[in-house]
Structure 1
């Protein structure tokens, strides 16, 4: 049961990704062809691979991580705080710093990672980008040989499905139906590419990413039927 999990043993997280380059034309010919093949069935017939390149960030082979935001609970008696921090900069540095966090503070067998749609997106994306950069996977992301019940990952989307695999429920929709303040009051995922490359406003992306991380924690609290975090309980570090 979710209530049996110690909140302090969970690292909540969210990532923001963008295409590896600002424009399709920046890719070499081989990569352009591979992207065209990869997106053949995702694109409408009247969309070229170049016109579809703004979506490249959703694939680890053609995108990169520009921000990882994490949050964790600290419980002291009746006092509850949720601390949020972010890693940003060059992708390799982001991944290495995140790995250090996992290996120094969330390396015990009972420690868990939690994200919304994390099992389908965040966790494999981080792992793939680490492999691409030649970074050895931390234990929490190395799933080889693990049985399903040994995987140290929680996914609020999976928890909300209750065994139903037919539908996808966005974090925004879950927040809405559970009475949680919406995290999408500035930008959404489709705008991150433009904010990063055109506006070059990483601070705006960090704020957006941290709000999603907080919302994942809020959703988890609601799934446990516990009070939501107040603004005073949330600390940016």
Structure 2
């Protein structure tokens, strides 16, 4: 299927998330109890709910999005570019701005969203946070009533599985084995919470998020048997 897709019809994306509250103590007593229930299986007896709270960004019910980076291809004759931009700041505003972009520029039937592990994380996380903020879902995220083949979502991890649903492969591993250049980062996903709350460095998070967005596009190019992007073809706008 990915060979038939026109690259200019794909919006590549990645999100970065953190706990909605900086500290566990800021939760209401009811929310603390709900957090304990939600994470009991993952924590087992190894961690208390408070000790485990640094991981709250993984769950949309207890986390929030601090950055959505998107990328898309443009073509002019034999020239191609990959344009990357990011939404960040207040979560409600970034979600509203992201929705506006979808409805303005990626609202046609042929348009699809693409992320790595997007079907299990990025797409549902964005949709849940929109609903929590009272934002109506854009068509590309509203799956109600859609048949599986009507869902406008691509997932590079799913494509790499080739039907093996027990197989998880990280984006970092894929870029390595597919010989995709991966600039060394001074942060990884597990450090985003500290960079956001302790260092107050959203710019570092944006750079990290945009690199992953580019990497998703590179993986799809390799899956299609096409030349990967050069640095000159990547434009940050």
Q: TM-score, normalised by structure 2?
A: 0.99
Q: How many residues align?
A: 237
Q: How is 1:154-169 mapped onto 2 (pairs within 5 angstroms)?
A: 154-169=154-169
> RMSD across aligned C-alpha pairs, in angstroms?
0.8
Partner of 1:55 in structure 2?
55
Q: Distance in 2 between matches of 1:186 and 1:211?
A: 12
Deviation digits for residues 40-61 of structure 1, max 9, x if unmatched?
A: 0101413100000010000000
* Partner of residue 139, structure 2: 139
Listed one character per residue, the Cα deviations across residues 94-146 of structure 1 (whole Å, up to 9, x for unaligned) are 10000000000000000000000000000000000000000000000000000
1:170-207 deviation per Cα after TM superposition (whole angstroms, max 9, x unaligned): 00000100001225522111000000000000000000
- Tell me the residue number matched to 1:93: 93
Secondary structure of 2:43's aligned partner: coil
Match of 1:104 in 2: 104
- Please tell me whether the aligned partners of residues 183 and 215 of structure 1 are also in contact (alpha carbons under 8 angstroms): no
Shift of 1:167: 1.6
Specify the alignment match of 1:82 in structure 2.
82
Q: For the residues of structure 1 that align with 2:55 and 2:186, how far apart are their CA atoms?
A: 19
Q: Supply the distance in 2 between the matched residues of 1:201 and 1:119 (Cα, whole angstroms).
A: 28
**1:73 aligned residue:** 73
Q: Higher mean Cα deviation, 30-39 or 182-191? A: 182-191
The question of whether the paired residues in 2 share the 8 Å contact of 1:113 and 1:152 is answered with: yes
Give deviations 1:62-108, integer Å, cap 9, x for gaps.
00000000000001111010000000000000100000000000000
Distance change >3 Å, CA 133–CA 194, structure 1 → 2: same
Deviation for aligned residue 1:232: 0.3
Q: What is the rounded CA distance, in whole Å, between the counterparts of 2:228 and 2:186 in structure 1?
A: 21
Report the counterpart of residue 221 of structure 2 in structure 1: 221
SS of the equivalent of 1:82 reads strand
Structure 1 residues 143-152 or 44-53, which shifts more? Answer: 44-53
| Matching of residues 1-237 of structure 1 within 5 Å | 1-182=1-182, 185-237=185-237
Deviates more, 1:78-87 or 1:2-11: 2-11
- Cα separation, 1, equivalents of 2:207 and 2:120: 23
Runs of at least 5 residues in structure 1 that lack an aligned partner in the other structure: none
Q: Secondary structure at the match of 1:2?
A: coil
Unpaired stretches in structure 2, ≥5 consecutive residues:
none
